[in-house]
Amino acid sequence: MDHLDGVNTIWFAGWLIAVAVLFTLGLRLPLMPRLRRLPALAYAGAIVAATLGVAALANVGLVLHDVHVDLTREGVFTPSKQAETVVDRLRQDVKLTYFYQAQDQAGRRAKDMVEVLGRRNPHLHVRTVDPDKQPTVADTYGVRIYNAAVLETDGRRIQVMSTDENQIALGILRVVREQVTTVCFMEGHDEYPMENFEFHTHFEGVASHSHGDSSSALVQMRAHGAGRLRRALESLGYDVRKIIPATLTAIPADCAVVVDVNPRTTYLPGESELLLGYLARGGSALLMYDLGFVLEPRLAAGLASLGVAVEQEVVIDPLDHYSTDPEVVAVPVYEPHPITRSIALTFFPGVRSLTLRPPPPGVTSAPLFRSSTDSYTRQVQAVSERQPGGDVGAAHSTAGQGGAGRRILGAAIEGNWPGMGPAAKPFRLVVVGDGDFASNSFLPYMANSDLALAMVRWLVREERTPSVNVRMPVPPLVLLTKSQMQRIFLEIEVLLPFGVVALGAVVWWRRR
Strand 94-99: give its sheet, edge to edge: 124-129, 94-99, 148-153, 156-161
Specify the pLDDT at position 473: 58
DSSP SS3 for 257: strand
* Residue closest to 258 by CA, chosen among 349, 308, 178, 194: 194
40 and 189, same domain (yes or no): no
> With contact defined as beta carbons under 8 Å apart, do 228 and 472 qualify?
yes
Same domain, 144 and 282: no
- Clarify whether residues 216 and 90 are in a common domain: no
Q: What is the pLDDT of residue 59?
A: 76
Q: What is the DSSP letter of 328?
A: E
Residues 152 and 226 in one domain: no
- Closest to 362 measured CA to CA, from 285, 426, 431: 426
Give the bridge partners for 242, in sequence order: 185
Q: Which domain holds residue 116?
A: 81-175
125-162 pLDDT, tens digit per residue, is 999 999 999 999 989 888 888 999 999 998 889 888 88
Residue 507 lies in a domain: no
Coil, strand or helix: which one is 327? coil
The answer to whether 456 and 438 have CB atoms below 8 angstroms apart is no
pLDDT > 90? residue 292: no
Position 221, amino acid: M
In whole numbers, what is the pLDDT of the chain averaged over residues? 83
Q: Which stretch of DSSP H or E encloses residue 315?
A: strand 308-316
Per the domain annotation, does 471 fall within a domain? no
Task: Compute the chain's Rg from CA coordinates.
Answer: 31
Number of folded domains that form the chain: 3
Instruction: Give the pLDDT score at 210.
Output: 46
> Is residue 334 included in any domain, yes or no?
yes
Residue 31 shares a structural domain with residue 94: no
Q: Per the domain annotation, does 359 fall within a domain?
A: yes
Q: What is the pLDDT of residues 246-273, one digit of tens each?
A: 999 999 999 999 999 999 999 999 999 9
CA distance 29 to 240: 72
Residue 129: strand, helix, or coil: strand
Please tell me the least confidently modeled range out of 12-26, 145-159, 327-341, 477-491.
477-491
CA distance 189 to 148: 41
What pLDDT digit, counting tens, does each position of 460-481 carry?
998 877 666 666 655 555 656 5
Residue 506 CB partners (closer than 8 Å, separation 6+)? none
Q: Which amino acid is at 468?
A: V
Residues 86 and 147 in one domain: yes
Task: With respect to residue 508, please indicate whether it lies within any of the assigned structural domains.
Answer: no
For the chain, helix, strand, coil in percent to 5 are 35, 20, 45
pLDDT at 221: 41
pLDDT in tens, 80-120: 888 888 899 898 999 999 999 989 998 999 999 999 899 88
What pLDDT is attached to residue 262?
92
User: 150, 146, 160, 164: which is closest to 104 by C-alpha?
Assistant: 146
- List residues bridging with 364 in a β-sheet: 414
In this model, does residue 344 exceed pLDDT 90?
no
Helices (H) and strands (E) in the chain, counts: 13, 16
The half-sphere exposure of 415 on its side-chain side, counting CA atoms within 13 A, is 17
Last residue of a domain, one of 436, 459, 482: 459
pLDDT higher than 90, residue 411: yes
Residue 219 pLDDT class (50, 70, 90 cuts): very low
How many angstroms from the chain centroid is the CA of residue 408?
22
Closest residue by Cα to residue 173 from 485, 506, 470, 486: 470
Distance from chain centroid for Cα 57: 44
Does pTM top 0.75 for this prediction? no
- Provide the pLDDT for residue 63: 67
- Core vs surface per residue 31-51: b (16+ CB within 10 A) or e: eeeeeeeeeeeeeeeeeeeee
Confidence of residue 395 (pLDDT cuts 50, 70, 90): very low
> Which CATH number characterizes residue 305's domain?
3.40.50
Contacts of 131 (CB under 8 A, 6+ apart): 99, 101, 137, 138, 143, 146
| C-alpha dist (Å) from residue 451 to 236, 276, 429 | 14, 24, 15
Same domain for 44 and 88, yes or no, is no
How high is the pLDDT of residue 202?
47
Kindly state whether residues 58 and 108 are assigned to the same domain: no
Q: Based on the fold, state whether residues 345 and 446 are members of the same structural domain.
A: yes
Q: Is there a domain that residue 487 lies in?
A: no
Residue scoring higher pLDDT (15 or 98): 98
Q: Which amino acid is residue 51, in one-letter code?
A: T
Q: How would you classify the pairing of strands 346-349 and 328-331?
A: antiparallel
In a shared domain, residues 163 and 309: no
Stretch 479-503: mean pLDDT: 81
